[in-house]
Structure 1
Amino acid sequence: MRALVLTGPGEAAVREVEPPAAAPGEVIVDVERAGVCGTDVELFTGAMSYLHTGRSWYPLRPGHEWCGVVGATGDGVDPAWLGRRVTADTMLGCGRCERCRHGRHHVCAELAEIGISRGRPGALAERIAVPATALHRLPDSLDPALGALAEPGGNALRAVRAAALEPGERLLVLGTGTIGLLVALFGRAQGLDVHVMGRDADALPLARSLGLGNAWTRETLPSLPWHAVVDASNAAELPALALDLVEPARRAVYIGLAGTPSTLDTRDLVLKDVTAIGILGGSAGLAGAIAAYADGSVDARPLVAATAGLAGTAAVLAGRRPEGAGPGPKIHIDPRR
């Protein structure tokens, strides 16, 4: 089968590889759609920290935002999975340790991440092997663009839940990339008064086109009580700004990652009695994200600027947008093309 293979920093090509076979407890999924994520870009450029700690290594087959149809099942798997449209949890814990047993498999010490770490092949390929225990069923009618947005949607929904707001309360989201806009959309679906802050004025039209009229830059941000702030940016200075802006005794949620260390003054954290929460992975939010996409309360399809074939993936990783791409921040790949 064809798969995208990263062989070193800046080196990516579509290659013919041995197709996966369904091991006991696994299924083989024919991939319909896969998203290109910032993590995939870091793996391509060599900037990803896992490459320096030994958690990831080349050659590497990326792709962790995806959906597809189950084409084969291994021993011990319910054959009813055959033919079903699915996505899956990216985070695969050992299943035996205390963290896994108590529902925290996403921070398992032996965690393997599909398309990211410990050699687990990803979905920028025609087929992928996945443990059946990680599967989430998708409605047959769900647009594949939404199926492939389940993983980032799960992350965003976890961030909204972590903010712990009541309907009508005010949420400020820092960042207008895929995750920031998804946080805003899920927050709005839960009845929150959502505001977003972008890097500059050019980052705001897409948010407004999604019905997020309260879209600001740092210079135009109104002085309002922010009942929770979610930092979904990659700017090293914004974690401290989130803490500065949030109301005392409320919550600052951190889901973005900067390329350089961020600093904030824990004296401010203590003296404002703020709860700071970090979000890693969408595991606990996948089911809720899929449900919101299915019932129409969140429509994230405008975030997808274009869908390219597998051969165009290397160019996307290198920062080149497909011809005719729309304004959305996300590029999808159809490995069947």
Structure 2
Amino acid sequence: MRALVLTGPGKAEVHEVEPPAAAPGEVVVDVERAGVCGTDVELFTGEMSYLHTGRSWYPLRPGHEWCGRVTALGDGVPAEWLGRRVTGDTMLSCRTCDRCRSGRHHVCGDMAEIGISRGRPGALAEQLAVPVTALHALPDTVDSTLGALVEPGGNALRAARGAGLRPGGRLLVLGTGTIGLLTALFARAGGAEVHLLGQDESTLRLARHLGFGHAWTRPRCRGCRGTASSTPPTRPACPLSRSTSSNPPAAWSTSDWPAPLRDRHPRPGAQGRHRGRHPRRLGRPGRSHRRVRGRLGRRPPLVAATVGLAETAGVLAGHRPADAGPGPKIHIDPRR
């Protein structure tokens, strides 16, 4: 089968590789659609911290935002999974250690991540092997575009809920990428007054098209001080982020977090190594995924274009397709 392979910093090629086999407890999925994420870009450029700590290595097969159809079952997998359209969790924990059994899957010492770490092949390929415990069935009303948005949507939904806002409350979202816009959409659906802060006017056009009238750049934000920065301050110097509580209700889009923050959340008992997690992926696997499937019923115009596998290297290098729309997300159809 064809799969995208990263062979070194800035090097990505489509290779013919052996198709996956369904190990016991796993399924094989024919991938319908896969999203290109900022994490994939960091793996491509070599900036991903995991490449420097030994948690990830080249050659690497990326892709963790996906959907597809189950076409093969391993031993022990219930027969009803065959033929189902699915998406799945990125983080694969051992499910047996004390942390997993207490619901802290995200700090499992044996964590592997699809398309990211510990050599687990990703979804920028024609087929993907996935543990059945990581699967989530997709209803017929969720097409391929929405199906591949469930993973980032789960992160965004958890961020919106984590703000703890009640209807009528105000939320400031720093960043207008896929995660930021989805967070804003979920928060607005919950009755919040949402403000977005982008780096420049061009990044705010889609937010305004989606009906967010409170969309600012830092110099234009009423009362903001200083100039825009891609690195978030400890407390945003913006009155919109203030509330009656001691914690400002603010959420950051993925692209606004500097990569070193991945290693500032040490795992308990990680043998002295600070092998933390990216802030947006913290949380119990699957919980947000299950909730978000029913909330993406009306497709937001976040996906700018869908291209074939051969064009993925250019996308990772920052090239947008000529016919791309205004959305921040590029999808890949591995069957093209």
- Output the TM-score relative to the length of structure 1: 0.87
Q: Match of 2:247, as an amino acid?
A: R
Cα deviation 1:189-211 (Å, max 9, x = unaligned): 11111111111111111101111
Report the equivalent of 2:236.
241
Superposed displacement of residue 178, structure 1: 1.0
| Contact 2:113–2:120 (8 Å) recurs in 1 | yes
- Please give the alpha-carbon distance, in whole angstroms, between the structure 1 residues aligned to 2:21 and 2:2: 15
Superposed displacement of residue 255, structure 1: 5.8
| Contact 1:29–1:127 (8 Å) recurs in 2 | yes
Superposed displacement of residue 216, structure 1: 1.1
Question: What runs of 5+ residues in structure 2 fail to find an aligned partner?
Answer: 263-278
| Contact 1:41–1:317 (8 Å) recurs in 2 | yes
Superposed displacement of residue 162, structure 1: 0.6
Superposed displacement of residue 246, structure 1: 2.9
Cα deviation 1:4-43 (Å, max 9, x = unaligned): 0001111110000000000000000000000000100110
Report the equivalent of 2:177.
177
| Contact 2:35–2:66 (8 Å) recurs in 1 | yes
Superposed displacement of residue 91, structure 1: 0.5
From the superposition, tell whether residues 254 and 194 of structure 1 become closer, same or farther in structure 2 (CA, over 3 Å). Answer: closer
The alignment status of 1:250 with 2:250, answered yes or no, reads: no
The alignment status of 1:27 with 2:30, answered yes or no, reads: no
Report the equivalent of 2:17.
17
**Higher strand residue share:** 1
Report the equivalent of 2:281.
280
How large is the RMSD of aligned CA atoms in angstroms? 2.2
- Please give the alpha-carbon distance, in whole angstroms, between the structure 1 residues aligned to 2:233 and 2:148: 28
Q: Match of 1:249, as an amino acid?
A: S
Q: Match of 1:246, as an amino acid?
A: R
| Contact 2:199–2:230 (8 Å) recurs in 1 | no
Report the equivalent of 2:313.
314
Cα deviation 1:43-97 (Å, max 9, x = unaligned): 0111100000000001100000000000111110011011111000000001111
Report the equivalent of 1:229.
none
- Please give the alpha-carbon distance, in whole angstroms, between the structure 1 residues aligned to 2:83 and 2:137: 11
Superposed displacement of residue 291, structure 1: 1.5
| Contact 2:173–2:251 (8 Å) recurs in 1 | no
The alignment status of 1:208 with 2:208, answered yes or no, reads: yes
Q: Match of 1:310, as an amino acid?
A: L
- Output the TM-score relative to the length of structure 2: 0.87
